[in-house]
Amino acid sequence: MDALGWLIFLVALLFSVMLHESGHFFTAKAFGMKASRYFIGFGPTVWSIRIGETEYGLKALPVGGFVKIEGMTSIDEVDPEDEARSFRRAPGWQRLIVLAAGSFMHFVLAAVLIFLLAFGIGIENDNTTNLGTVATCVPASETALENGAACTAADPKSPAELAGLKVGDAVTSFDGIKVSGWTKLSADIKAVKPGTPVTFTVLRDGKTLTLHTALVTVKGHGSYLGIAPAVIYQQQGFLQSIRYVGTGFDEVVTGSFSSLAKLPAAVPDLFSKNRGSTAGGDVTSVVGAARDTGQAVAADVGWKAKVAFVLLLMASLNIFVGIFNMLPLLPMDGGHVAVVIWERVRAWFARVRHRPDPGLADYRKLIPLSFGVFAVLVVFGTVLILADIVNPVNIG
């Protein structure tokens, strides 16, 4: 099942890459530009076929893809007969659309996935107080708790086990206070000093039971009881699902910018023992995302939880990639967008001053900047992949 999760992630990733490149490809074709190659992957060619003026194919390394549009920059060599149909000869607004189309397709795919999550699976109900997990022992540390370490004979029984709490119980009150939702219940539990006796009222098989226990301490975590809520999904109607797309986008976009802001601070924590509780635990590579998908598919949970996790993960990744790709840094699409905008602003100033259009930007001057950004991305990506291999974050 873990291998199946990796396969699902790989297929979804390649599909996402295909959509990205298709955005560039079809908008370029629509504007009459010549797109001579459309490939998935990099490295040696495994298979290709030429249809019309375009060669379609697969490369040996399935880690991306590319579309070759003739004359993307001022220094590209183009056959004289194709110059009129080159990217650089198109109006600025057309070039901007072609460049932004890749990220746009990521956003479209993410919107479809979020809609399918709400309409087909449902939205997780955060207000449930039904228990989905009752731990049988007290974890030795916060790390053991986060990693879901198995119980040993030496581990003491958890307070939840000693109290007699069972999966499916609906907690109705805690220490005499009515429970309205899991968020409030979780906060109330953490606020209790370890060792203090507490009382639970639960509804089990239509009967109300009163149970007693005392919380314990887990090093690095604080007060510990040993319960987790049941995951309940509520399917949404068509219009509600469309509205949820907006809500989901807002949450993921906010999280994406937060993750980007944490990138510098995350580097020192990538190899720390407590990575999961630091900024280093909030960023991951494709290896980490694939591993998370594998863990989710292999987890002992219902199919809805598995599908919901995969859909939300892929939607989040597509939104993040779409945003990251539009940052105004070469060699990313956002960097090329910035160059086109600069060319048009410069042309406007020349026109106002009654001077000739200075034309295309000289990409030879931008090569050092582009290479520098590319080198930083490669180094950081390599470090992040290495961290995900030797010091992974367990999603539980």
Confidence at 365, pLDDT banded by 50, 70, 90: very high
223 and 140, same structural domain?
yes
Of 179, 208, 231, the residue at which a domain comes to its end is: 231
pLDDT value of residue 126: 67
222 and 238, same structural domain?
no
Q: Is 146 a catalytic residue?
A: no
Q: Catalogue the long-range contacts made by 88-94 (C-beta closer than 8 Å, 24 or more residues apart).
A: 88/360, 90/31, 90/32, 90/33, 92/340, 92/341, 92/343, 92/344, 94/31
Check residue 277 and report its DSSP letter: G
Is residue 224 in some structural domain? yes
Is residue 349 in some structural domain? no
Residues 6+ apart with CB under 8 A from 247: none
Whether residue 260 has pLDDT greater than 80 = no
Annotated catalytic residue: which of 21, 70, 146, 343?
A: 21
pLDDT value of residue 146: 66
259 and 202, same structural domain?
no
| pTM for the model | 0.81
Is residue 11 in some structural domain? no
Is residue 156 in some structural domain? yes
Whether residue 87 has pLDDT greater than 80 = yes
| DSSP reduced 3-state for 54 | strand
Confidence at 395, pLDDT banded by 50, 70, 90: low
Of 205, 231, 257, the residue at which a domain comes to its end is: 231
pLDDT value of residue 164: 92
**pLDDT > 90 in the chain, percent:** 54
State how far Cα 355 lies from the chain centre: 48
301 and 240, same structural domain?
yes
Please state the domain count of the chain.
2
pLDDT value of residue 270: 86
